[in-house]
Structure formats: C-alpha cells, structure tokens
Amino acid sequence: MPQPSDSPARITVVGDALIDELRDPTGSREFVGGAALNVAVGLALLGEDATLVAMLGDDEPAERIRAFLDDYRVRLVASPSEHGTSRAVSIRTDGEPRYEFNEAAQRRRLRFDDATRAALDEADLVVVSCYPFDDDEQVDLLLDAIRDPERRLVVDGNPRSGMLHDRDRFLVSFERVAARSLLVKVGDEDAELLLGAPLEEFVRRLRSGDAASGPAVLATAGRRGAALHHAGIDVRADIVELPGPVVDTMGAGDATLSAIVHHIAVHGVPTSAPEWSEALGEAMTIAAATVRHEGALLRTGIVPPRVGS
C-alpha cells in the first residue's frame, strides 16, 4: 500500500488511447483521448511519474498520440494494432457525449510482453481503465502480470456500449478484478449499462465481501456528485461550483479518478472520514475545473500539483 511521499509516484495506467472526434452543431474537431490516456496525462499534470500501456496502430493518428504524450511527459508502452489506431466519434448534445467506435477500438487487445510486464512490476500503483473485461484471456493476462493487486491496483471498468461484446462476461470479470483491488471506481452510467440498475445497487455488489478488507469504492454520479465507501466509512461530496459554464463533461470521471489516485500517491490511503472527505473534495474541484474546458485534459482548478512538477 502506498505510503505518504514527497517524491513523484511511479504510476502505470493500462487501457485505451484514441482519437476523439467531437461533432456538434458548430462542426467537427479532434482531440487525443481515451480514458486511460486521460488518466495518465492527468497524473502527469499533477506531478506523478506516469506510464501508459495502450494499443496503437502504425499510422498518422498514432504519431499524434505519441507526440501528445511526449508533450506531457508520459512514457508509452505500445501494443501493436493490425486494425490501426482507435477512434471514437463523440456526438454531443448539451455537453453530453454519445460515442461511435471504429474497428480498432472494438477489437482492442494488449500484448503482455517484457516491456509491459516491466512497466507493471516497477509501478507503485497500477490504474486500469476502459479495459476489455469481456475478454477472458486479456483479464487473466492482466491479473497474472500485477503482483499484490490488493495493495497497488486501481480499476475503473468504464464500459462503452459501442465496445461491449458480452455484457454479462464483462460484469463478472470486472467484479472479479475489483474484488482484488485497492480501489475501484464505478459510475451511474456503468450501473445502468452493466446492471440496468441504480448506482447504489452496483456499490452494494462491490461491497458484498469483507467490508474491512475489501476495496475502496469511488462512486461517481454526474451532477449528483460522488461518494467514497471504504472499511465502514461513507463520505459524499457535491459538485463544486466554479466560475464559468460547464462546456464539456467528457473528462469529468477521468479527472476525478486521477485526483483520487494522486491523493493516495501523496498521502497514502485515507483511514478516516475526514481524510477521505478531503480527497473527494480535491477530486470534485479538479473535475469542476476540467468540465469548464472543451476536451478531456485535466485542469487543476485551485488544487496544486506536487511541488516542482
């Protein structure tokens, strides 16, 4: 379990990297994105030593992603894709995205070679986001490659209907990985997609084991704020009001997760309600700042990154 530290934590993020094409009544624009990439870049902006493990093609979009990661000092361990680089077309209505994914995104797979395993083994924390949990082989490879997941693994299922091949299998595997994790994030949209049920029911399922030793559960509910449940502690936080309108909610969940992981890296895992409330308040401030800009790039608001970052 991470201990309080003044030095940057080594954090490896596993998941997706893609080109996000935003379409709305004003036209079409493209951003480098993907949930895992957003978290890795967010952690780098908060002062951590971030590595991203993701799939890329051999094409121009991949070069844009590589250059973007270089700009934010995020190391990349790339798995090859025979179908090119993933792309998501985001059609926005009132700031809320609806996604369509290309073949590469729908057939995403990671190669657990020596470079990938080294990045996972050397990390103080491993964050998994938007992973193909409905692929049994990929799930087994992931768990086999992460030592001490109960002390190091943070997981966000982040299912997307356009990339989901087997909902029931995804749910079973996600819950299996979550049960062995330090912290798990779920959202109200995840609960609706995977369970057809309210977020509170999904949280109860994830907490159905040993409450004292099970993972911390970060539950995000959009405009209703977020909650954190851990070892008998339950804290909630509302959306933070900041100047300016909400422009784009795409990166809110990723920013929230980045902020919580950053807090754990700096201070260790909270052990009391006031400590979790502080962590959640920081995360809500960062999320509120992020949604006031187009694209999913994390904005720190008034919460400072590590000194010297």
Per the domain annotation, does 302 fall within a domain?
no
Domain assignment of residue 284, given as a range: 10-290
| 7-25 average pLDDT score | 92
Per the domain annotation, does 232 fall within a domain?
yes
Place 99 in a pLDDT band, splitting at 50, 70 and 90: confident
Per the domain annotation, does 296 fall within a domain?
no
Answer whether 123's CB lies under 8 Å from 51's CB: yes
| 32-43 average pLDDT score | 96
Name the pTM for this structure.
0.92
Per the domain annotation, does 295 fall within a domain?
no
CATH number of the domain within which 239 lies = 3.40.1190.20
Per the domain annotation, does 53 fall within a domain?
yes
Per the domain annotation, does 307 fall within a domain?
no
Q: What is the pLDDT of residues 127-149, one digit of tens each?
A: 999 999 999 999 999 999 999 99
Per the domain annotation, does 299 fall within a domain?
no
| 146-154 average pLDDT score | 97
Answer whether 149's CB lies under 8 Å from 181's CB: yes
Answer whether 25's CB lies under 8 Å from 293's CB: no
Residue type at 141 in one-letter notation: L
Place 123 in a pLDDT band, splitting at 50, 70 and 90: very high
Per the domain annotation, does 91 fall within a domain?
yes
Domain count for the chain: 1
Place 93 in a pLDDT band, splitting at 50, 70 and 90: low
Nearest-angstrom CA–CA distance, 55 and 15 = 8
Nearest-angstrom CA–CA distance, 215 and 228 = 11
